[in-house]
Structures are given as structure tokens and as C-alpha cells.
Structure 1
């Protein structure tokens, strides 16, 4: 049982039982299996570790939820949550999904990168996710005529209307010019709530921390 102070609890089996009392610090569960904090209202943070395709669910608190290098579905539930990503962990070939992202409340943090520009590209009917991302790197601003390429330290939202991949995606450049499928982030936000920002420029701080 965790005690007072900021605790780290490692979980690698569903048989592990956590009991946490109120007001005993800022605590983090590190889990190598699917994990749900909903029944642990005193735990603030959840970090998935390892390489398996596993999922993480928060609780009613303002959680910090971090995925691993596998393909994850992350769900914050109530609260103003922060979803943390490392470059290369959620990529075009294996994107993570945030199942209930709340625009205006939840935030994205990318370790090592804070985009200086955020835009929304025009809706896109490209038939594959790779083609969709390619097209956003060619034109990442749907409110300006001509091609406004997604530049270094930039990010863009885009809505796919294509069968099979239809949904809303966030694309984050890794800090190096051009599209790198191994490191540039592609995050599936399909299932978001609140209003999707309009085409064109978006305040970076409205989405990123």
C-alpha cells in the first residue's frame, strides 16, 4: 500500500491490489498491462511502459496519462487531463488513439518538443493514413490559399473523410524538416468532445503544454 508522499507503483499483473488513502501525495501507476484508474480516485497519474499494445484509462481527477511505444488507446474520463507522448511512440504506421479528448480542457505534451505553430488543415479524402499525413506536410493550413507546408516544430489537426481511416488526427513534426514516418507523431483523436477548432491558425497553448 502506498504511503505519504509521491509514490510510484509498478503493476505487471492484474492480481496487484492498490490501496491509496486521500491526500497522500501525487502518485503514479507504471503499468505493463491494460490499466484503469477509475476505481482508484486517489491516484493522479498513469504511465504505460514496455512495448506491448496496451490501453490506459484515467479517473475523475486531472490525470497525466503517458503511453508506451506500443499502440495504445488512452482515455482520460473526467477531469482536465494531460496526455504525454514521446517522439516515435505514436507514428503513422501505428498511431495511438485518445478516446475522449476534450478540446478546451485536455492537453497534449510531447517530451522534447513544444510546437511553435498549430493549424488545422482542410478536410482530406486521402485513402491511406500515410497519404493523409503526406498531404498535411504539403498543406497544413486549410484557411489559406495555396500550399502552406507543415514546417519544423509545427503541428496540425486534420479530418479524414476516407472510408477505413475516417476520423480526426493530430500530426506533430519532430523538430526536423519534412515528414519522418519513424518519429513524427500521428495521434488519432476520433471520439473527441467539444468543438473542433476551425480551419487555419490555432493558439498553440489551447492544445499543448
Structure 2
């Protein structure tokens, strides 16, 4: 299991200060929508300057018509990231188009599909998708697998089911991890490391429990010790 630290702080300076504090660990870093829109590629370059071995997950959740998604995916190739994601609800055609566009590239990033955002609770999800979370997450994961993607973003509670329906090697990345039972904040389907391990999760994303800590490096080390 890999640890991915979310860089969700209010400004680039704070994010880079956090990166500097945890620069000696073999971890992934998540650059999300807020940070990328505000700071762009120079932010990614600055991270690599601090430690060129950091792996970067660009969390933009591409969702558009197939050709536009494929264009965006091809543009991501120039950013030097190691993983990015799209929305599975864009459909199999769009996901296939993304993967087809990336075929000519060697060492392409991993591509994951978002199933159900971990901020959803059942009633709101049902209102949007007319289905329960677990069933629809499985359906989205099968679509992503058939389209040739490398894995999905889901909650820890859907991971084992998704792997059973696709393959053991199909990646599951789970946000909303509260490593040692911390407050859920604005997330609904949160989980501990123990739950993630039991559900065969491949990547856990941890944000607030690390960047709100007095000593982020200490929390990172504590997490890595139990992975």
C-alpha cells in the first residue's frame, strides 16, 4: 500500500513548506484542482526541485466530451506527473478515447477513474445517479476496467468488491482516510488504515491529519510504519 499526501493548503508557499518537511519519505503527493488552477505546472516543477523522486498524482477528475478529455489527457503528458484521473461517469467511450490517445507514449502516467466521490452519502448519491453507491461504484469500475484504465478512485469500503469484479491488479485509490480515527470533516465515507488494508486498497490519500499536525513528518512516519 502506498501513501499519497494531499497538498490542499491555501497557498503554494504553505504547500511547498509541507513538501519540504516530508521530503525524505518515499511517498506520493496529490495535486488537486484548487492547487493546480492556482499554481499550475510551476508548482509541480517546484515539488520536483525539492525531491525529484516524489511521485505526483494530478487529481483533476477530467469530465467532458470524449475528444476534449483525450486532448486534456495528452496535454497532461507534458506535466511530468505519474498518475491522473477522469470521471467514470463520462462513459466508456470517453475513457477508451483517453487510453487510445495515450497509446503512443512510453511511460505514460497511470490513469484512474473516479467512481463515487467520498463526500457523497446514500440519499444524495441516489438523487443524482438513481442507484446506491456500492452498486454504481462496481458498475463504474467495470466500465473503467473494460476501457483499459489502470484503476479507480473509490472509498475503502468498495475496494474489495471492485477487485473481485475486475482483477487483483486493478488499482484502488481511496481518499477520505483518517489513519487513526481522526474527525471526518466534510467527508462521509471515511476509513482507517486498518479498514483500507482489509479491503486490499493500493493507495491511501491522507490530507488534513498530516498537514494540520504540528509535526507532519512524524505523522507520515507513523502511517508508513503500519502500511
Q: TM-score, normalised by structure 2?
A: 0.30
TM-score, normalisation: structure 1: 0.32
Larger radius of gyration: 1
Per residue, is there more strand in 1 or in 2? 1
